[in-house]
């Protein structure tokens, strides 16, 4: 078992270092605003993702399942989901500056993944199900999209504050228009919310097949549905009460905080049957 | 001794009435260059004339050329030289080079960092070339001025940030809206200021322009000019439903748009952003509007503050830019020194002596000669080198007064490939 653990660390260390390098380049880009730096940073980020995908596949084959059996694997998969979501978002919105947020987030989560103490990853037959795979992949991608929405929301607040206060500070030149930041955030929320919805549905179906019930008042279940309702409320307010801009941005950031708590906090602090994944 | 001279007047030394009088249009520039060549015997000269400056840069060996050129300008412009002589500055050599580099880098401009000046200098250079008035020195000097200007622009923040009110407003609009071509503008008031503001925004192709004015006819006529629509002044609040940018410049003493008006409309437009630009004094738009979510209000003072701080920012960058210019001046002077006779002759002589010496020693090493014989051969090769160079050196020392020394020196340096200072970045 020990041998596997060391090699897992090795597998994840390389993409982790590449993410860190990419994040460093992105920070330089934030200050210097050179297009070539951004290109290099994004290129490096893509290389990091390629190695990360490779590492995840190797890991999946080694344990014969999706690598979500302990905290390390879970964090690594979360980072991968954020990275993939960002590469896709970059192609769609060309919001280069979001890379600063995405690369730092991915790098931070990966450092966490490499650094956490190892818990033995036990192979459980119960985890081998078609529904579970869908549940995990959809939830992770949905959460990644919502993470990007939070990033765009933070950038929106920074830019909005500068314009309202009539001070053209550090961010004024560096950030794009409020319109673009807001619509990016909105698109990320709708995509993330949709994925999360299907993720929860597949989760319920899986719970029925594996545990014999759809709903069990488990802490994780309650918090997940709570988070889902929060985003549903946010979307509702946007559509029917015109909550765009500042309010929406703040909600997005609060929502992401809630999401992180549901993702990690509940498992660590409150327990529940999902706890095994974050040991 | 030939020197670079620069005579000129700019916005710092001469008022606009005088600058207008001594400005040259393209035809006059050609004419002036013609006269400089034929009447004054100059071989290299450039005449730069813009709305902020008129400058003559020339290469001459006579110190009294300055007075003669001032007289020439006076003749061509039908002015008394006394009328403008006190407004002129005259720079020589290093100072002239520095001044040209400063002007090209837009450090001497009225608005530091404005980009047009480089194009104007290029134009002046082209005209001088067309008149065959650019030789070895000026070709290099002007090209160096272009490259230093680009370097300054690239390496300092001198060209960043908006330095005019309308540009600052458009920049803000672009930071609020992602695509101005899908946005509509409403003008409150049909005055000259409104017209100016719209002319700038039209350059950015907004979707539609609506004009509201107390005198409806004026609104209609202004709207026609911009292919827009006119509305009654009383309709202005409801019209906020369909517009995104509001430019206000009425002569009203009260607010023509109040915070409650906008709050109501904001709800109806589902909080789609509104950008208010209030260029009227006294203000037209209630400042409380800026506190409403997704509504942004800039009055003339706010815009002026941005412009002022941007100009200060630019001026900070001039210190760095000045250093780059100084470096370029020193390099150019070194190159100019190289064009002087003595160092060139020394460089050529050194090179040939070094070659003969090296070849001689190589041959002697293979032969088994006594010390005295070897010395004789050394003396002989040295003599060959000296005698070979005798005529070219004599020629370079005395090319005759009527000839262009720098051209021959430059050619000689190229011929012997001793142009070591030539570094083109």
For the segment B299-336, what is each residue's pLDDT rounded down to a tens digit? Answer: 888 988 888 888 888 888 888 899 999 999 998 988 88
Contact by Cβ (8 Å): A190, A145: no
Whole-angstrom Cα distance, residue B197 to residue B204? Answer: 11
Chain B contacts in chain A segment 164-203 (CB below 8 A): 164, 166, 168, 172-173, 175-180, 183
Closest CA to B168 of B275, B43, B324: B275
Local confidence pLDDT in tens for the 279 residues of chain A: 455 556 777 888 899 999 999 999 999 999 888 888 999 999 999 999 999 999 999 888 887 777 777 788 888 899 999 999 999 998 888 888 899 999 999 999 999 888 887 666 555 555 567 788 888 899 999 999 999 999 999 999 999 999 998 887 888 888 999 999 999 999 999 999 999 999 999 988 888 887 788 887 788 888 899 999 999 999 999 888 888 888 899 999 999 999 999 888 777 777 666 665 655
* CA-based nearest distance B208→chain A, Å: 19
CA distance to partner chain A, nearest, from residue B245 (Å):
14
Model confidence at B96: pLDDT above 90? yes
Using an 8 Å CB-CB cutoff, list chain A residues near B298: 166
Query: 3-state class of B2 per DSSP?
Result: coil
Of the candidates A173, A178, A247, the beta carbon closest to that of B176 is on A178
With a cut of 70, say whether residue B203 has pLDDT above it.
no
Based on the number of CB atoms within 10 Å of its own CB, is A23 exposed (0-12), middle (13-18) or buried (19 or more)?
Answer: buried
* Dist. CA B246–CA B206, nearest whole Å: 12
pLDDT of residue B206: 84
- Candidate from A178-182, B134-138, B141-145 with smallest mean pLDDT: B134-138
Segment B17-39 mean pLDDT? 90
Q: Which of A179, A185, A240 to probe by mutation at the B interface, max B CB count within 10 Å?
A: A179
Mean confidence (pLDDT) of chain B: 87
In this prediction, residue B325 carries a pLDDT of: 94
State both tokens at B126. Answer: 């082209």
CB proximity list for A240: less than 8 A, separation 6 or greater: none
- Cα of first residue to Cα of last residue in chain A, in angstroms, is 16
pLDDT at site B195: 75
How far is B338 from A152, CA to CA, in rounded Å? 59
CA distance A128 to chain B (A): 47
**Alpha helix (H) residue ranges in B339-404:** 341-366, 371-397
Which candidate in B16, B26, B51, B415 is catalytic?
B51
Q: Do B273 and A183 touch (CB under 8 A)?
A: no
What is the pLDDT, as a whole number, of residue B425? 40
pLDDT band at B383 (very low <50, low <70, confident <90, very high): very high
What Cα–Cα distance (Å) separates residue B281 from each residue in A11, B274, B415? 67, 21, 70
- The three-point CA angle B203-B209-B210 to 5° equals 155
pLDDT over 50 at B231, yes or no: yes
User: Which pair of structure tokens corresponds to residue B186?
Assistant: 């409403």
The helix-helix angle for B116-130 and B26-38 (nearest 10°) equals 50
Q: Could you give phi then psi for residue B258, rounded to 5 degrees? A: -110, 165
Mean pLDDT check: name the lowest of A37-51, B151-165, B291-305: B151-165
Residues, chain B: 425
- pLDDT above 50 (res B422): no
Q: What is the pLDDT of residue B424?
A: 43
Report chain B residues whose CB lies below 8 A from the CB of A241: 270
Does the predicted model carry a pTM greater than 0.80? Answer: no
Q: CB-side exposure of B392: number of CA atoms within 13 Å?
A: 18
* Residue B51 is among the residues annotated as catalytic for this protein: yes
Q: In chain B, what are the domains?
A: 3-159 (3.30.460.30), 165-306 (3.40.50.720), 337-415 (no CATH)
| Number of helical (H) and strand (E) elements in chain A, helices listed first | 9, 0
Helix, strand, coil proportions of chain A in percent (round to 5)? Answer: 85, 0, 15
Separation in Å, CA B54 to CA A118, B119, B124, B135, B353: 77, 15, 11, 22, 50
For residue B319, what are the contacts with CB-CB under 8 A and spacing of at least 6? none
Q: Please give the Cα distance from A176 to A163 (Å, whole number).
A: 12
pLDDT, residue B403, reads 59
Contact across the interface for A242 and B269, Cβ inside 8 Å? yes
Closest Cβ opposite residue B175 in set A178, A241, A247: A178
* Residues of chain A numbered 33-92 and touching chain B (CB < 8 Å): none
Please give the distance of CA A167 from its chain centroid, rounded to a whole number: 32
- Per-residue pLDDT for B103 more than 90? yes
The 10s digit of each residue's pLDDT in B403-420 is 566 778 788 888 888 865
Under the banding of pLDDT at 50, 70 and 90, the label for residue B401 is low
Cβ neighbours of B131 (radius 10 Å): 19
- Order the strands of the B295-299 sheet from edge to edge: B229-232, B208-213, B184-188, B245-248, B274-278, B295-299
Q: Which of A105-114, B88-97, B219-228 has the lowest mean pLDDT?
A: B219-228
Cα–Cα distance between B12 and B87 in angstroms, integer? 9
Contact A245 B271 (CB under 8 A): yes
- State both tokens at B123: 């134009």
For chains A and B, what is the number of CB pairs under 8 angstroms? Answer: 55
Q: Tell me what pLDDT residue B423 has.
A: 45
B 140-169 residues with CB < 8 A to A: 160-161
Which residues between 248 and 267 in chain B have a beta carbon less than 8 angstroms from any beta carbon of chain A? 267
Give the pLDDT of residue B300.
Answer: 86
Task: List CB contacts (< 8 A) between A243 and chain B.
Answer: 271
Instruction: Please compute the mean of the pLDDT values over residues B385-403 and round it to a whole number.
Output: 80
- Which pLDDT tens digit goes with each residue over A189-204? 999 999 999 999 998 8
- What is the model's pLDDT at position B39? 87
B173 to chain A, closest Cα gap in Å: 9
Cα(B423)–Cα(B425) distance, integer angstroms: 6
d(CA A250, CA A246): 6
């Amino acid at each position: 078992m020990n041998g596997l653990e060391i090699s897992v660390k090795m597998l994840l260390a390389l993409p982790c270092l590449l993410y860190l390098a990419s994040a460093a380049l992105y920070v330089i880009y934030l200050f210097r605003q050179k297009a070539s730096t951004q290109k290099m940073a994004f290129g490096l980020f893509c290389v990091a993702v390629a190695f990360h995908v490779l590492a995840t596949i190797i890991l999946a084959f080694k344990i014969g399942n999706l690598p979500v059996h302990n905290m390390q694997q879970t964090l690594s998969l979360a980072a991968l989901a954020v990275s993939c979501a960002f590469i896709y978002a970059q192609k769609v919105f060309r919001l280069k500056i979001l890379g600063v947020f995405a690369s730092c987030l991915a790098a931070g989560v990966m450092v966490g993944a490499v650094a956490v103490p190892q818990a033995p990853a036990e192979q459980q037959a119960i985890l081998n199900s078609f529904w579970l795979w869908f549940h995990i992949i959809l939830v992770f991608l949905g959460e990644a999209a919502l993470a990007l929405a939070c990033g765009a929301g933070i950038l929106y607040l920074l830019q909005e504050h500068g314009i309202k206060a009539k001070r053209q500070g550090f961010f004024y030149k560096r950030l794009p228009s409020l319109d673009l930041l807001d619509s990016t955030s909105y698109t990320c929320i709708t995509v993330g919310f949709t994925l999360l919805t299907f993720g929860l549905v597949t989760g319920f179906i899986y719970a029925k097949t594996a545990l014999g019930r759809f709903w069990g008042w488990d802490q994780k279940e309650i918090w997940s549905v709570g988070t889902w309702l929060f985003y549903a409320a946010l979307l509702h307010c946007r559509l029917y009460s015109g909550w765009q801009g500042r309010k929406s941005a703040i909600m997005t950031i609060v929502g992401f905080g809630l999401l992180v708590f549901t993702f990690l906090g509940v498992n660590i602090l409150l327990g529940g049957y999902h706890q095994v994944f974050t040991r | 001794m030939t020197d670079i001279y620069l005579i000129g007047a700019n916005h710092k030394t001469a008022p606009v009435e005088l600058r207008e009088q001594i400005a040259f249009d393209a035809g006059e520039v050609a004419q002036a260059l013609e006269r400089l060549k034929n009447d004054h015997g100059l071989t290299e000269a450039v005449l730069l004339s813009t709305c902020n400056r008129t400058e003559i840069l020339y290469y001459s060996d006579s110190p009294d050329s300055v007075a003669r050129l001032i007289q020439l300008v006076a003749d061509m412009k039908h002015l008394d030289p006394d009328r403008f002589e006190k407004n002129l500055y005259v720079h020589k050599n290093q100072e002239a080079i520095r001044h040209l580099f400063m002007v090209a880098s837009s450090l001497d401009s009225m608005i530091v960092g404005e980009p047009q000046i480089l194009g104007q200098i290029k134009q002046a250079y082209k005209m001088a070339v067309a008149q065959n008035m650019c030789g070895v020195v000026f070709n290099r000097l002007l090209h160096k001025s272009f490259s230093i200007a680009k370097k300054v622009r690239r390496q300092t923040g001198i060209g960043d940030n908006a330095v005019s009110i309308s540009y600052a407003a458009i920049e803000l609009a672009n930071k609020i809206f992602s695509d101005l071509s899908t946005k509509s503008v409403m003008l409150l008031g049909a005055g000259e200021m409104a017209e100016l503001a719209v002319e700038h925004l039209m350059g950015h192709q907004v979707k539609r322009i609506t004009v509201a004015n107390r005198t409806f006819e004026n609104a209609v006529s202004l709207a026609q000019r911009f292919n827009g629509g006119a509305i009654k002044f009383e309709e202005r609040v409801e019209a906020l439903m369909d517009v995104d940018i509001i430019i206000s410049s009425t002569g009203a003493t009260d607010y023509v748009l109040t915070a409650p008006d906008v709050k109501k409309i904001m709800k109806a437009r589902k909080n789609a952003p509104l950008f208010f630009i209030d260029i009227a004094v006294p203000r037209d738009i209630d400042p409380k509007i800026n506190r409403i979510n997704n509504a942004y209000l800039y009055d003339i003072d706010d815009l002026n503050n941005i412009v002022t701080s941007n100009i200060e920012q630019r001026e900070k960058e001039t210190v760095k830019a000045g250093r780059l210019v100084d470096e370029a001046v020193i390099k150019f002077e070194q190159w100019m020194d190289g064009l002087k006779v003595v160092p060139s002759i020394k460089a050529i002589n050194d090179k040939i002596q070094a070659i003969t010496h090296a070849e001689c020693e190589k041959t002697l090493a293979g032969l088994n000669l006594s010390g005295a014989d070897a010395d004789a051969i050394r003396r002989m090769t040295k003599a060959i080198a000296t005698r070979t160079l005798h005529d070219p050196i004599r020629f370079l020392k005395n090319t005759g007064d009527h000839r262009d020394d720098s051209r021959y020196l430059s050619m000689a340096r190229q011929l012997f490939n001793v142009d070591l200072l030539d570094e083109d970045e």
